[in-house]
């Protein structure tokens, strides 16, 4: 069984690294997730 957790601001560098990988860029080259904003939004929603 796999247990998933919500990403936090502590995951920012990992997500940015993943987002820069060639296979991710190839799948959607014009996509920017604005990870800091998304992580902040998720964290605020969890409160």
Tokens of 28: 């959607």
Q: What is the pTM of this model?
A: 0.75
pLDDT of residue 43: 78
Question: Strand runs (DSSP E) across 1-47, as ranges?
Answer: none
pLDDT of residue 31: 81
Structural domain range at position 17:
9-46
pLDDT per residue of the chain (47 residues) written in tens, 0 to 9: 999 999 999 999 999 999 999 999 899 888 888 999 999 987 788 76
> Is 4 inside a domain boundary?
no
- The CA-to-CA distance between both ends of the chain, in Å, stands at 27
Please count the structural domains in the chain.
Answer: 1
> Is 32 inside a domain boundary?
yes
CA dihedral angle for residue 25, residue 27, residue 32, residue 35, rounded to 10 degrees: -90
């Amino acid at each position: 069984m796999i247990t998933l957790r919500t990403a936090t601001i502590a995951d920012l560098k990992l997500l940015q690294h993943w987002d820069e990988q060639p296979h991710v860029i190839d799948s959607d080259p014009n996509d920017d997730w604005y990870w800091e904003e998304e992580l902040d939004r998720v964290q605020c929603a969890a409160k």
